Structure 1
Amino acid sequence: MHGDLHLKISIIIAVYNRKDELQELLFSLINQTDKNFEIVIVDDGSQEKLEPIVSTYAEVLDIKYYYKSNSGAGLSRNYGAEHASGNYYIFLDSDCIAPVHYIENVRKELGLNYVDAFGGADSADKNFNDLQKAISYSMTSLLTTGGIRGNKKAINKFQPRSFNMGISKEAFKSVGGFSELRVGEDPDLSLTLWEKGFKTRFFPECKVFHKRRTSLKKFANQVYHFGIARPILNQRHPSFTKITFWFPSLFLIFTVLSLVLSIVNYWCIFPLLFYCCAIFLDSSYKNRSIKIGLISLLTTFIQFFSYGFGFLQSYIKLNILNREPKEAFPSHFY
């Protein structure tokens, strides 16, 4: 199936609690300029009652609601795909907001240059709070992640992420959907697609506003588990291992050494201070806020330290101690 002649889009949203955010996402889907799509809501055992919220949108949206026992996001997305009637799936996280032209732009991109799977960028909406904007900066900036989460010039091949990802039914079924990984299931899917010969592409006009974590503690914990997941993914897909995966861990070591050596020679701290100034100035300018610039310094260090520590811990257990991933990190698997 190529082009948009027979394209039927199913938006699949796996959600656990987060009723206010789900409502914001559904409201953004009401306002789409292209309304030719269905929505499949998979309630992953929420303690909050979500069905009444979903039912309020049933008159204006083609929407299905399914409640199931808690199994995690990946398997819930698989469940949603099983109950979707479309031939092209779009996965959105419940803490995202879709701009009004999102579906229209997806259909346009697929019509002009069809691809098996795509991903879009994420950014902070102007109404997000200062912490959310700072986290968004640290996760997407060229100075922190190389812009790989939203810059098509940053990398040669784009790995779609499940907060904003589209994939054909054919490709999804061919690779068996999301794997048993609890963390890193989306890059695992992307790498499996490449290994099977499917193509992925970045859609620059199909961004979403992504709230991410709403506290520093939750953000640190999330990124820490991202770091643990990367060596697991490297074992599963060794041909896609890159030296850049080490950068957060190297930054962690660099920071510690800079602080220690500065006791002997204060010049040793200057490269780190220069980088901090660059982060502060860049974020302050882009967010038009000195306060957000300062918070971005904190979120950037939390991101690097948490990811870097998780990566080192995982690498040592898997590659030096030769432990099996499921034995070393059982909570990372269903």
Structure 2
Amino acid sequence: MRFSVIVPLFNRPEEIQELLESLTHQSFRDFEVIVVEDGSDLDARNIVLAFQDRLDVRYFWKENTRQGFTRNFGFERAKGDWFVVFDSDCLIPPQYLEVVDAHLRVNPEVDVYGGPDAAHPSFTPLQKAISHAMTSPLTTGGIRGRVRNVGAYHPRSFNMGISRSAWERSGGYRISVKGEDIEFSMRLIAHGLKSVLIPEAHVYHKRRTDFAQFRRQVHFFGTARVNIRKFFPCAIRPIHWMPSVFLLYVVSMIPLAFGLHFAAGFPFKWSVLPVLPYLVWHLALLIGGKMATGSWAAAFLVPRAARIQLTSYGWGLCTEYVSVVLLRRRDPTIGEVRNVPMPKG
């Protein structure tokens, strides 16, 4: 079998139904699907098994161990030569596996791949705005999969594939939560395995459905980056501090403008200069959002989504860095760290 699609699931039965429905339309048919229910209260067994007449799908329920170890559970039961990992809130384009199969046949040296995410036309304006904010060069600089990153590419587990031999060599996920996918990707590369971005292998990623959920999610991403640093000190690079710099700029621009005018005596037209880049950035996001989504309803939400993304990530990174690195406090949310084969050198 060519591919084993592995999906961890926790209390999201409606999402797995939509994901499985999208997989029934794959043009490439040599694949199986493994759904692993991670101790959910909302059981999706009947939903998954209802697809057995259209998909080669297996369902497992286990006690909750979080997403990293849940993917390991799926890897251990997979039959395919390649393991493809999706989040449950993704929709998969019909040509996805065909595109990946063609790329891997032309590039047999590849061990690990990742792909970008996009917004489906059926998404709400808010979902489209969040998707654009998370992939726009005006926020992340494309580091989440829109363009090739400097250095080796680190796939994210919402859209990632790993060969069976690479999994056997690496031992799978070392931690189950809080940056588990980046730690896994960095360790695979440290093993000397080849990781690539396949730009055409995109998925439609719903992410969060309101700004409060989105704020918590990106704050968590910021704290997770510090967790990865414990395993790979190089995990935090200058670009990861940019959201924190942006946060500092946002909280200081108004006091600075007032200070220039009232304390330093600058004319008003000059004292507003600290705010000008912020306004230009908002305008660029609005225009870029309209061009990317084709919707003014989504475009007007993009600046807010971008502000939340950068400030929440920056705050999470800063507070976690102070707590864990400077004050050396133990993070109780990490959980178990598995013993896995480590790279030499």
- Is 1:332 aligned with 2:334? yes
Displacement of 1:182: 1.0
8 Å Cα contact 1:249/1:312 also seen in 2: yes
Structure 2 residue aligned with 1:295:
301
Structure 2 residue aligned with 1:121:
116
CA distance in 2, matches of 1:239, 1:197: 17
* Residue pairs, 1:178-327, within 5 angstroms: 178-264=173-259, 265-323=271-329, 327=330
Structure 1 residue aligned with 2:339:
none
Q: 1:186 to 1:32 in 2, by over 3 A?
A: same
Q: For structure 1, which runs of at least 5 residues remain unmatched after alignment?
A: 1-6
Displacement of 1:178: 1.1
Structure 1 residue aligned with 2:144:
149
Displacement of 1:102: 0.5
* % identity of equivalent residues: 38
8 Å Cα contact 1:146/1:154 also seen in 2: no
- Is 1:166 aligned with 2:161? yes
Cα-Cα RMSD: 1.3
SS at match of 1:79: helix
Q: Deviations over 1:111-133 (max 9, x none)?
A: 00021100001010000001110
Q: Letter of the aligned partner of 1:132 in structure 2?
A: Q
Larger radius of gyration: 2
- Is 1:99 aligned with 2:101? no
SS at match of 1:89: strand
Q: Letter of the aligned partner of 1:227 in structure 2?
A: G
Displacement of 1:181: 4.2
- Residue 12 (structure 2) aligned to one of 6, 13, 18: 18
Q: Letter of the aligned partner of 1:292 in structure 2?
A: A
CA distance in 1, matches of 2:90, 2:295: 23
Displacement of 1:173: 2.4
* Residue pairs, 1:17-166, within 5 angstroms: 17-114=11-108, 115-166=110-161
Q: Deviations over 1:187-225 (max 9, x none)?
A: 100110111111100011110000001121111111111
Moved over 6 A (4+): none
Q: Letter of the aligned partner of 2:21 in structure 1?
A: F
8 Å Cα contact 2:49/2:58 also seen in 1: no
SS at match of 1:330: coil
SS at match of 2:61: strand
SS at match of 1:58: coil
Q: For structure 2, which runs of at least 5 residues remain unmatched after alignment?
A: 260-270, 337-345
Q: TM-score, normalised by structure 1?
A: 0.94
Q: Deviations over 1:9-66 (max 9, x none)?
A: 1000101121111111111111110111011110111222211111111012111110
8 Å Cα contact 2:39/2:62 also seen in 1: yes
Q: 1:225 to 1:86 in 2, by over 3 A?
A: same
CA distance in 1, matches of 2:301, 2:335: 33
Q: Deviations over 1:231-274 (max 9, x none)?
A: 22123112444111100000000111112112232222111111
SS at match of 1:209: strand
8 Å Cα contact 1:152/1:158 also seen in 2: no
CA distance in 1, matches of 2:326, 2:11: 39
CA distance in 1, matches of 2:244, 2:176: 22
Displacement of 1:70: 1.4
SS at match of 1:250: helix
8 Å Cα contact 1:183/1:225 also seen in 2: yes
CA distance in 2, matches of 1:150, 1:313: 26
8 Å Cα contact 2:69/2:176 also seen in 1: no
The count of corresponding residues between Structure 1 and Structure 2 is 324
